[in-house]
Amino acid sequence: MKITNKNGIPAPIFRSISKNWYGGAGEKKQFCSVTQLLKSAKIFVLEKRYARELQEEASDLIWALMGSAMHKVLEKSESKNSLNEERLSCEISGKIISGGIDLYENSVISDFKFTSVWTYIYGSRLQEWTEQLNIYSYLYAKANFPVERLQVIAIFRDWSKLKSRIESDYPQQVMIVPIKLWKMSRTEKFIKEKLSQLETALKLPDDKIAPCTLAQRWQDPEKFAVMKKGNKRALKLFESRELASRFISFHKDREKLNIEIRESLPRRCQDYCLVNGYCNFFQNYKKMKNNLKTAKEEISWPKSAAS
């Protein structure tokens, strides 16, 4: 994969990103890293097939660089009872997987993450973190390192001192997020299922691989907003048009109400997926959007012309 600098970030930072970027290659004979294992089958396969053609903008990797800097600092603070940045691997279902753990100390696995306050408040990455750390725990247990607890140490890159003073439920700048520790049998079953999905997908042509799920696309379900004439904010949001219509039918101001569709956007596909140019789901989505835009312009054109 090529790192580009179209946004012109300063040369020293660009060089650091280019030299320090690490994709979890691990052993040459490995099937995948833990990070790769947790990707959707669609992304996993497309990234493998088009690895030489892929490009990533350096400015999108600033926080990855900050993470690398954090790991360097942690290495300097290693004690006799801790392991920092130790990479372990194991074989399961005939395939080698590997993972690099940020910190193992006193039977606790800690993973440091630069993340957003909203990610913490809404818990939108909690499932992903739980899967990741439990696989790390599995690797450590297989290497005869006992694991009693898992935790994410979250460092909030958009933290506000002002909000921390006035909002009672606002997090501290650095928070420990406890992660549920699974039984080994559950983790092993999860890994085997993921490996089977990836192996099956590797045998399929690009357009036959199932698209990412809504959660994997960071896409919220479509919403139906009940709006009152003159108001910018919705009175209420509904999961279906039927529920929204029913709400209006019982409302005292029903003549002043209407329904607006809050579009469901695949945020990851649009802005954070390296292989969206090779993904038939996203390409079809773009075509649909362009067709809708064209249709709207054609409908509005006679009004503009008449005015």
C-alpha 190/C-alpha 184 separation (Å) is: 10
Task: Report residue 24: phi and psi, to 5°.
Answer: 75, 40
Task: Report helix, strand or coil for 246.
Answer: helix
C-alpha 217/C-alpha 151 separation (Å) is: 25
C-alpha 78/C-alpha 83 separation (Å) is: 7
Q: What is the pLDDT along the chain (307 residues), one digit of tens a residue?
A: 899 999 999 999 999 888 855 545 555 689 999 999 999 999 999 999 999 999 999 999 998 888 888 877 877 777 777 888 788 999 999 999 999 888 999 999 999 999 999 999 988 899 999 999 999 999 999 999 999 999 999 999 999 999 999 998 899 999 999 999 999 999 999 999 999 999 999 999 999 999 999 989 988 888 889 998 888 888 888 888 899 898 988 888 888 888 888 878 899 999 999 999 999 999 999 998 888 767 766 666 655 444 4
Task: Report residue 282: phi and psi, to 5°.
Answer: -70, -35
User: What local confidence, expressed as pLDDT, does residue 237 receive?
Assistant: 86
Structure tokens, 59? 């400015």
C-alpha 18/C-alpha 136 separation (Å) is: 27
Which residues touch 294 (CB under 8 Å, ≥6 apart)? none
β-pairing, 32-33 vs 257-262, is: unpaired
CA nearest to 39, candidates 195, 234, 231: 195
Domains defined for the chain, CATH in brackets: 2-208 (3.90.320.10)
**Interaxial angle between packed helices 62-76 and 11-20, expressed in degrees from 0 to 180 and rounded to the nearest 10:** 70
Contact between residue 115 and residue 155 where contact means Cβ atoms under 8 Å apart: yes
User: What local confidence, expressed as pLDDT, does residue 307 receive?
Assistant: 42
297-304 own/partner pairs: CB under 8 Å, 24+ apart: none
Strands (E), the chain: 2-4, 32-33, 55-57, 82-92, 95-105, 108-115, 149-156, 174-179, 223-228, 236-238, 257-262
